[in-house]
Amino acid sequence: MSQIGTTLTQFLTEQDNSPAESRGELTALLGDVATACKRLSHLVRMGELAGVLGAAGQENVQGEDQKKLDIIANEVFIDSMQRSGLLAGVASEEMDSHYPIPSQFKRGEYLLAFDPLDGSSNIDVNGSTGTIFSITRHAGKDAPSDADFLKSGREQVCAGYCLYSSASMLVLTTGQGVTGFTLDNSVGEFILSHPDITVPASTSEYAINASYSRHWLAPEKRYIDECNAGVDGPRMRNFNMRWAGSMVGDVHRILCRGGVFIYPLDARLKADGKEGKLRLLYEANPMGMLIEQAGGMAHTGTQPILDIEPYTLHQRVPVIMGSSEEVARLVEYHADNIND
């Protein structure tokens, strides 16, 4: 049984029950993920002193303005991962299509999808940000295509994030629960600090960007109105609201003390022809796996996020995740409004 103080490598080695021929692979791969996260944690902490703040002056494939740190984080991650010998290719929020591992490096049988820097709008204000990652298997040794990344969230062999905040924390799952590691900067190691993370089924805290309330569809309007009615309303208790502006920050809080995170499809996104804001393969799926592994629920309102069969690399989805009682309630409201 792993104890607080165990290093990430020791923990993963203890937990590894894969067949002899692949034993140690995920430990090595996650070791490289940890290295990338340490490099990014350092850059985020240096901030303006490292010249990483501000806009990059260009857009990504999704039409979003990129920050310098979005691009740097993408490069740092790829640089740290491409020599692992374990990856066949990498897909990222910041790249139009996937990046195949170049032929000068050994190619392996895993695929990595990641959001290099989540919560970009927090970079310049020294707010919390993070990196989200999802690992799946790639059958065979051929170079992958974009289509090889289109796997449902149930096929993830590992998912996690690194939160860059007052402490940097790596939180991950390999399908055996959720574990949190805190970066000890004095020795440069992620050390087990949060064993067996679970999300309480019940909560009185929600996270949604309320500035879009005029665009919300009926289920979200009803759910939030009822929460805000407090002790005098149908929920008969007061609710609190938090919105970090970074999914990593919000999901981390929910893993620590419960809550429900909602980024719904709304009339504004619909009018733009979008299916949601958050991206399935490198935001919703890895966070969904963490939340389910911690005993919570992750849903779009019409189906569990992890059941979605993706059709495109940068696919967007509505997201409702966290404490199961609240997610189930909002899903019920969606069932009552099947046109929304």
Continuous segment of H or E residues that includes residue 268: helix 267-271
Stretch that binds ligand AHG, among 9-17, 28-36, 118-126, 154-162 (CB under 6 A): 118-126
Stretch that binds ligand AHG, among 14-22, 26-34, 116-124, 264-272 (CB under 6 A): 116-124
Decide if residue 115 touches Mn ion (CB under 5 A).
Answer: yes
Interface positions, 60-99, toward ligand AHG (CB under 6 A): 64, 93
Q: Whole-number minimum distance, CB 18 to ligand AHG, in Å? A: 31
Q: Whole-number minimum distance, CB 57 to Mn ion, in Å? A: 17
* CA dist., res. 325 & res. 314, Å (int): 30
Decide if residue 250 touches Mn ion (CB under 5 A).
Answer: no
Among 66, 88, 110, 118, binds ligand AHG (CB under 6 A): 118
Contact present, 2 and 14 (Cβ < 8 Å) = yes
Decide if residue 128 touches ligand AHG (CB under 6 A).
Answer: no
List, in sequence order, every beta strand (DSSP E) within the chain: 55-59, 65-67, 87-92, 99-100, 110-118, 129-137, 158-164, 168-173, 179-184, 189-194, 205-207, 240-241, 260-263, 278-279, 297-299, 316-317, 319-322
Binding footprint of ligand AHG, residue count (CB under 6 A) = 13
Among Mn ion, ligand AHG, none, residue 209 binds (CB under 5-8 Å by kind): ligand AHG
Decide if residue 118 touches Mn ion (CB under 5 A).
Answer: yes
Q: What is the 3-state secondary structure (H, E, C) of 192-242?
A: EEECCCCCCCCCCEEECCHHHHHHCCHHHHHHHHHHHCHHHCCCCCCCEEC
Contact string (CB under 6 A) for ligand AHG, positions 270-309, x = contact:
-------x--------------------------------
* CA dist., res. 209 & res. 253, Å (int): 16
Among 66, 74, 80, 120, binds ligand AHG (CB under 6 A): 120
* CA dist., res. 176 & res. 184, Å (int): 24
Among 25, 32, 93, 266, binds Mn ion (CB under 5 A): 93
Q: Which is nearer to ligand AHG, 86 or 169 (CB)?
A: 169
Q: Which is nearer to ligand AHG, 200 or 245 (CB)?
A: 245
Other beta carbons within 10 angstroms of residue 219's beta carbon come to 22
* CA dist., res. 295 & res. 324, Å (int): 8
> Which residue's C-beta sits nearest to Mn ion?
118
Residues 6+ apart with CB under 8 A from 273: none
| 64 DSSP 8-state letter | P
Chain contacts with Mn ion (rule: CB under 5 A): 93, 115, 117-118
Chain contacts with ligand AHG (rule: CB under 6 A): 64, 93, 115, 118-121, 209, 245-247, 263, 277
